[in-house]
């Protein structure tokens, strides 16, 4: 006896088949994610140019005197600095990170930055994130080139996320998922979500490049769905504040714990262009920014310190530093040399790396700024080779070569 198939039955059958294929893909992604031993990388970009000389000031000697003379209103008192070594101290608002430094989980790289002369935010950020200083025509960001050149590949379900606008460092990487929170990549809860997903699965059921991207996006949405509208409970008593950075880091922590193959997370934290009233008392503008950074990072690290931090590398960087001499508005103008922070289980922490150039007039860049003695790519190059298991650093930073500083364990 012949049986006819109703439209409803046909669609139900298609839906079941598509769901089965999606499940198979999710399993494949998970197996791929579990096979890698490389660290997960979190890059926190402080947009605006943070003031390296007030974040990590000299605490003694001739440079301390030059620093205080140059900044009569905004210098951080030596007595309030958290000691890093004999030369430098950490801003007191970063006390939560000082604990990690003392535990050997954080390192500082001073006098680091672009080996290129620009005081334009837009140019400097573009050069740093492309990884090709002086060349704006590069078609991919440095993170993209890492993900494309790493021997382990980037075949995990969600290899990269960005929690603000997609950064230039991920230019040319179509598998990046851009989301501030997991709910950002879910379908509207309008009662038709199941039908919408079914229709989209059918739409992208072919084997064209566009369909492949569509399938991967739908797979990512399916994987993230359990996180949507769930009251996330951080581990180890960590508490995320309501500020923008903390909420971004909470999202990154959720995605790491999802075990969906995350390799890189790009996080933005803006507001560091401190042209005026930079250090207006102990609770001034810079102190507020640093407090949010310190609290957010410390709770993020605590949340993941239950089996994840041994394979986690965090880098904090900015496009440039600030001038040595304060301006007439008790702030600082665009400078040159900056400071980077590196955190993680594979960091040779409790140390300040880099060659300190000094603050005397003949040691300053252009007689005004902290000089750059360490190209920022030298730090990232070592990180990529030692912690991300990618020896193809020439592909990531073409034409650049420099010896490791010893920041990251291999």
CATH code, 113: 3.40.720
Asked whether the whole model's pTM tops 0.95, one would answer no
* Residues 290, 44 contacting (CB under 8 angstroms): no
Q: What is the pLDDT of residue 26?
A: 47
Average pLDDT value for the chain: 89
- With cut-offs at 50, 70 and 90, classify the pLDDT of residue 13: very low
Work out the percent of the chain whose per-residue pLDDT is above 90: 74
- With cut-offs at 50, 70 and 90, classify the pLDDT of residue 2: very low
Residue 127 lies in a domain: yes
* Residues 338, 375 contacting (CB under 8 angstroms): no
Residue 185 pLDDT > 80 = no
- With cut-offs at 50, 70 and 90, classify the pLDDT of residue 222: confident
Residue 337 pLDDT > 90 = yes
Residue 163 lies in a domain: yes
Q: What is the pLDDT of residue 4?
A: 42
Phi, psi of 391 (to 5 degrees): -80, -5
Q: Which domain holds residue 322?
A: 38-185+235-396
* Number of domains comprising the chain: 1
Q: What is the pLDDT of residue 20?
A: 41
Residue 109 lies in a domain: yes
> Looking at per-residue confidence, does 224 or 321 come out higher?
321
Predicted confidence (pLDDT) per residue in 233-251, tens digit: 999 999 999 999 999 999 9
Q: What are the start-end ranges of the H helices in 36-120?
A: 52-55, 61-70, 95-102
- With cut-offs at 50, 70 and 90, classify the pLDDT of residue 16: very low
Residue 231 pLDDT > 50 = yes
Query: CA-CA distance, 118 to 321, in Å (whole number)?
Result: 11
Q: What is the pLDDT of residue 1?
A: 40
Phi, psi of 259 (to 5 degrees): 55, 50
Residue 23 pLDDT > 50 = no
- With cut-offs at 50, 70 and 90, classify the pLDDT of residue 35: low
Residue 196 lies in a domain: no
Work out the percent of the chain whose per-residue pLDDT is above 70: 87
Residue 210 lies in a domain: no
Q: What is the pLDDT of residue 186?
A: 66
Residue 329 lies in a domain: yes
Q: What is the pLDDT of residue 14?
A: 38
Token pair for 113: 């930055």
- With cut-offs at 50, 70 and 90, classify the pLDDT of residue 10: very low
Scored b (16 or more CB within 10 A) or e, 132-159 reads bbeeeebebbbbbbbbebbebebebbbb
Q: Mean pLDDT across the stretch 383-405?
A: 98
* Residues 122, 111 contacting (CB under 8 angstroms): no
Which residue has 């603000």 as its token pair? 164
- With cut-offs at 50, 70 and 90, classify the pLDDT of residue 21: very low
Residue 213 lies in a domain: no
* Residues 296, 243 contacting (CB under 8 angstroms): yes
Task: Tell how far CA 362 is from the center of its chain.
Answer: 34
Residue 229 lies in a domain: no
* Residues 365, 110 contacting (CB under 8 angstroms): no
Classify residue 228 by its DSSP letter. T
Q: What is the pLDDT of residue 31?
A: 43
């Amino acid at each position: 006896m012949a049986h006819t198939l109703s439209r409803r039955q046909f669609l139900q059958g298609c839906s079941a088949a598509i769901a089965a294929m999606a499940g198979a893909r999710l399993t494949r992604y998970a197996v791929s994610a579990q096979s890698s031993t490389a660290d997960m990388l979190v890059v926190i970009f402080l947009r605006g140019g943070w003031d390296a000389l007030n974040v990590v000031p000299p605490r003694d000697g001739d440079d301390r005197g030059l620093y205080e003379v140059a900044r009569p209103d905004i210098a951080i008192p030596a007595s309030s600095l958290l000691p890093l070594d004999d030369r430098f101290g950490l801003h007191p608002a970063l006390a939560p990170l000082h604990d990690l430094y003392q535990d050997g989980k954080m390192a500082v790289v001073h006098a680091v930055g672009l080996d290129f002369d620009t005081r334009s935010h837009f140019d400097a950020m573009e050069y740093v994130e492309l990884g090709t200083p002086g060349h704006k025509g590069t078609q991919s960001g440095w993170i993209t080139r890492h993900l494309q050149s790493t021997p382990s590949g980037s075949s995990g379900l969600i290899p990269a996320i960005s929690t603000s606008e997609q950064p230039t460092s991920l230019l040319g990487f179509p598998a990046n998922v851009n989301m501030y929170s997991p709910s950002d990549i879910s379908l509207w809860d309008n009662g038709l979500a199941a039908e919408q997903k079914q229709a989209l699965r059918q739409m992208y059921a072919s084997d064209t490049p566009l369909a492949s991207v569509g399938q991967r996006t739908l797979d990512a949405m399916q994987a993230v769905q359990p996180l949507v509208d769930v009251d996330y409970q951080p581990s180890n008593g960590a508490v995320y504040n309501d500020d923008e950075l903390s909420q971004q880091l909470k999202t990154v922590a959720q995605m790491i714990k999802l075990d969906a193959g995350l390799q890189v997370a790009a996080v933005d934290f803006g507001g560091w262009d401190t042209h005026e009233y930079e250090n207006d008392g102990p609770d001034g503008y810079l102190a507020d920014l640093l407090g949010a950074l310190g609290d957010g990072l410390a709770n993020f690290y605590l949340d993941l310190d239950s089996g994840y931090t041994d394979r986690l590398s965090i880098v904090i960087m900015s496009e440039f530093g600030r001038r040595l001499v304060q301006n007439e508005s008790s702030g600082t103008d665009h400078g040159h040399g900056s400071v980077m922070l590196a955190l993680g289980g594979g960091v040779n922490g409790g140390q300040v790396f880099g060659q300190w150039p000094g603050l005397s007039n003949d040691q300053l860049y252009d007689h005004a700024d902290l000089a750059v003695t360490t190209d920022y790519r030298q730090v990232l190059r070592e990180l990529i080779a030692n912690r991300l298991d990618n020896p193809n650093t020439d592909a990531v930073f073409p034409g650049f070569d420099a010896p490791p500083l010893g920041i990251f364990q291999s």
